[in-house]
Structures are given as structure tokens and as C-alpha cells.
Structure 1
Amino acid sequence: MLPAGVAGPLHATGQAAASAPAPAVPVAINPLYTMPPASVTAEDVASMQQQLLDWPQLGRYRDDNAQLPAPAPGEARVVFFGDSITDAWGRAEGTRFFPGKPYVNRGISGQTTAQMLLRFRQDVLALRPAAVVMLAGTNDLAGNTGLATLPMIEDNFRSMTELAQANHIRVILASVLPVSDYPWHPGLQPAGKVRALNAWLKSYAASSGATWLDYYSALTNAQGGMDARLAGDGVHPTPAGYAIMAPLAQQAIERALAK
């Protein structure tokens, strides 16, 4: 065994004869789903039961959707569709959600793209928007609803995009926000997966005719996360974070509607 820091003999290519195996990337699955049944508490069971009663959370906006009037003639309604990052926009203290614009917030905290796909017809198509802004994927990478590989996440984005476009709704695909750790599921090392998913989203937006919305570049730090000024917990934007995101979203909407 060589002392630490001493490289092995090099081949002609300049590579070490035997490189150390890459460290295993932690599997992102909600620990509650893999705990031994005997260790699951009554509170845990109640939480899972509540989730399974309405897994896509169709009940969250059902009444709001029923009360929302149809778009006025010439009105370009836009649905912001996503998870907690969308949900908190305009609802968290100090944030503003596009005052005076015909924009509708349909974010639900904690959701994955699989859940969003199931509620896409009710919370997007039925509202008859001109465009939809989709910001999602970080909860998939955190394992919120179980294992979600990058191909699985990509398939959900493809399905939602195709549903929207089949109904003449312009699609705006937003980058996943930077994150270097999830406070509710630490140790997953998500920064690389976020970059990989964003690379796919950007490419898919170009090939599918969707509009690309890049929040990532404006928010990221050297670690692939967000500074506390922009996201106090490293995941959810502060008012300062949303203030950076808002004009980027507006510019993307204007580009999409001009197509």
C-alpha cells in the first residue's frame, strides 16, 4: 500500500494504473419508507395514511379551481406549477407574486414530479392558461416519495410537457434551484444531480419547443448551493431570492407568449 498522497505508477496515457473507486452516491429514498415496520411510530403511520388518502393532493386546489373564472378575452393566464418553492411565492412573508398579472399559483409543498403529473389536468389544463411555468424536481432528488432516478424524473417532465402542448399551452421549463444539502434528508450530495437534471431540462426545452428559464445560474454559489442571503435553509428562497427569480420568470413568460 502506498502512503497517502502518493500516486501509483502511470501508464503511457498518464493515468494511474489503478484508481480508487468513486465514492458511492447515497440513495435518495425517504427513510420512513425503508424503516423496519416495528420501528414505525403511530405518528408515522398516521402521516403515511394521510398522504395515501390523496397522494397527488388534488384536494388542495379543488375549491379554488372551481371558483376561478375563465380567462377574460385577450387575457394571457399563466399557471406557476411546482412544489414548495412555488407554493411560498407570494405567500411567505416578504414575498410578492407578480401583482397585477393574471398569474395563478398552483404549487404544493413537498411534491415530486410524479405527484404533479397526476394533478396536471386539474391544476393546469382545466384553468385554460396560455402558458405554464414548471419548477420541480428537487423533491424527487431528495427521495420525498421514494426512489426517483433521473430517467424517471425526465419521463414525468416529458408527459407534462406533451399534455400542455397538446392543449395549446406554451411550456416554460425552469431549472431546478441550486442545492448542496437537504435539511430534511441530509447527506445526499445533490449538487451534481441538480446540474445533470438541469442540463437535460435545457436540452429538452430546446428540442421540444419549450422555453428555458434559468434560475440556477443567477442563484448558485461555488458549492452548487445557495447562500443564506438567498435561501436561509439552502433550499427555499428568501425574499431576496425571489426578487432575483421574478424578472427572470417574467422574461421567460414574455418569450414564450411571443412564440
Structure 2
Amino acid sequence: MKITSLAFSLLLLATTALQAQTPAPATTPAAPAVVLPPQPPDVPAEKYGKDGKINPGFIAAHEKFVNIAKEGKAQLVFLGDSITAGWAGNGKQVWAKSFSQYTPANFGIGGDRTQHVLWRIKNGELEGIKPKACVLMIGTNNVASDPAEGIAKGVTAIVETIREKQPQAKILLLAVFPRGDKPTGKLGTANEKLKQVNAIISKLDDGKNVFFLDIGSKFPQPDGALTKEVMPDFLHLSPTGYQIWADAISPKLAELMK
């Protein structure tokens, strides 16, 4: 049977009307983006994840360090980010050989910025111990978000807090290590900011309680580039890099640990 053009038009209109009456499938609204408040580099702050919640790994590591501090055994404390935390990885053998005689404790957490270390030491990591010395190297993770002056203020706040909580401890304040651009390893624009940071924090050296030491020149090659032999990703250290670090600070540490 043939369908006339009039009948076809009526059928098309009926189909369209039926579709218009069919409810559209329900859609799940997109979750609103989590907007985290700014974290000034000199104001203590916990570390948050992209979901807006406190980073559980950060808290777990912090609680572990608090418990180590409560044991009261550590005579030498290292504070910092993943570069410091790496003493337990690539630097493990160098650590044991170079610092074990000092009963050391490694309080480094990957991804930490100045405000996170500041929060940690104000919340238990320097309670229960009386170390002879603290080694501090922090600030590279602030480079993307903070000006040099702000990063230096964060480092200064940490130094002041260590002095407040552990007045007997000598502080070996290290210049922030250089970092290289990928894939060449050449020192890039981030290092210009780090140079400014290091110039400011060097003035914290009082020759009595705080001692500033810049060992950054021991890592690059003569042409100014970093190598994968020392920094595989041009930021974190290899076992060779940790040996360079240990050799560079050991003479000063021997003085401070007397």
C-alpha cells in the first residue's frame, strides 16, 4: 500500500509530538570545582589534595615523625621536601655511612613547601627531642606559586620556629639546590628566582646559631648544566648526588655536632 504525501506528513507530525512528550534522560550535574584558599609561604598550613581534603599521606608521614620525636633519641634532624625524603631511598647507603653516628632523623615529605614544614614543626615534630643540630633545605616547591621574597619569608619563619622550640640546636641552613630544565638539564628561569631566595636567606647566618651553606655549585657541570648521573630528573638526587651532598656538609656538621 502506498503512503500519500498527506499521510506521510501526518505520521511525521505525530512522531515528532510523541518524541517531544518523552522526558529526557536524567543527567548527573557536574561536581563543582574545588577552589582551595591561597597558602602564603610564611603561614603554617596543612597540605591539601585536589579534592580539597587534607592529603592523607602528608598527615601519615607527619604523625610518624611526631612519634619519632617523642622517642627523644634523635640528635640530628633533617627537615625538607622530597629531596630530603630521598635520603631514605637513593641516599640510604650514604645516609648510614655519613650520619649514623649522630642518631639522625629524616623529616622530609615529598611535595612540601615552606608553609607545610612550618605547620609540621609547630605541631609536634620538634617536641620531645633535644637535637644538637637541624639541617634545613626547603623552597623549591614554592617556585611556581610564590615570589622570591615570599619564599624567603617562609624559610625565615621556619628558622625562627626552630630557634624558638630548640634553642640549643645549631641550624645548618642550606641554599635551595639548583634545578634543571628538561630535556637538557640546563639551569633555567626557576634558578634565577632561587638565587634571589638564597641571597636573602643567606643573611640569616649569624655565625652562632644559624649557619648558611650554599653547595649548589657542586652539582652542575662546568657548562652549568645538570646531569642525569647526579639528578636523574634534573631535580631529585641519585646516589651519586647524595654522596656529593653528604661530602659537602660533613665537615660543618662535625663542628655543629660536638
TM-score where L is the length of structure 2 = 0.68
Tell me the distance in 2 between the aligned counterparts of 1:131 and 1:155: 21
Query: Deviation of residue 56 (structure 1)?
Result: 9.7
Name which of 90, 93, 99 aligns with 1:92. Answer: 90
Q: What is the DSSP-based 3-state SS (H/G/I as helix, E as strand, rest coil) of the residue aligned with 2:94?
A: coil
In 1, the alpha carbon distance for the partners of 2:205 and 2:132 equals 17
SS at match of 2:78: strand
One of 123, 131, 142 as aligned partner of 1:129: 131
Say which SS state the counterpart of residue 248 (structure 1) adopts: helix
Aligned partner of residue 99 in structure 1, secondary structure: helix
Aligned twin of 1:14: none
Matched residues, percent identical?
A: 22
Counterpart residue number, 1:65: 66
Please give the residue correspondences for 1:56-205 in structure 2 after superposition, counting only pairs within 5 Å: 57-67=58-68, 69-71=71-73, 77-92=75-90, 95-97=93-95, 98-121=99-122, 122-141=124-143, 143=144, 147-166=145-164, 167-168=166-167, 169-181=169-181, 189-205=189-205
Structure having the larger proportion of residues in helix: 2
Deviations 1:152-176 (A, max 9, x none): 1111111111122223122110111
SS of the equivalent of 1:177 reads coil
Separation of aligned partners in 1, 2:255 and 2:130: 19
What is the SS of the residue equivalent to 1:52? Answer: coil
Deviations 1:131-185 (A, max 9, x none): 11101111111x3xxx2111211111111111222231221101111113378xx
Flag the 1:55–1:111 CA change in 2: closer, same or farther, 3 A.
Answer: farther
Alignment-derived partner of residue 20 in structure 1:
none
* Distance in 2, Cα, partners of 1:56 & 1:162: 26
Matched residue type, 1:164: I
Task: Provide the residue aligned with 1:219 in structure 2.
Answer: 219
- Measured in 2, the distance between the counterparts of 1:195 and 1:159 equals 19
Q: Contact 1:87 / 1:106 at 8 angstroms: preserved in 2?
A: yes
Are the structure 2 counterparts of residues 243 and 138 from structure 1 closer, same or farther at C-alpha, using a change threshold of 3 Å?
Answer: same
Distance 2:113 2:156 in 1: 14
Shift in Å at residue 203 of structure 1?
Answer: 2.4
Q: Which moved more, 1:92-101 or 1:129-138?
A: 92-101
Gaps of 5+ in 1: 1-36
Contact 2:91 2:238 (8 Å CA) reproduced: no
Alignment map for 1:233-252 (pairs within 5 Å): 233-252=233-252
Per mean C-alpha deviation after superposition, the further-off stretch among 191-200 and 215-224 is: 215-224
Q: How many residue pairs get matched?
A: 206
- Equivalents in 2 of 1:176, 1:126: separation in Å? 28
User: Does structure 1 conserve the Cα–Cα contact (< 8 Å) formed by 2:149 and 2:197?
Assistant: no
Q: Matches of 2:208 and 2:65 in 1, distance apart?
A: 31
Q: What is the Cα deviation at residue 204 of structure 1?
A: 2.3
For residues 231-255 of structure 1, give each alpha carbon's deviation from its aligned partner in whole angstroms, at most 9, with x where no partner exists.
0110011111111111222222223
User: How far does residue 205 in structure 1 lie from its aligned partner after superposition?
Assistant: 2.0
Closer, same or farther: CA 152–101 of 1 in aligned 2, 3 Å: same
Determine if contact 1:212/1:252 at 8 Å carries over to the other structure.
no
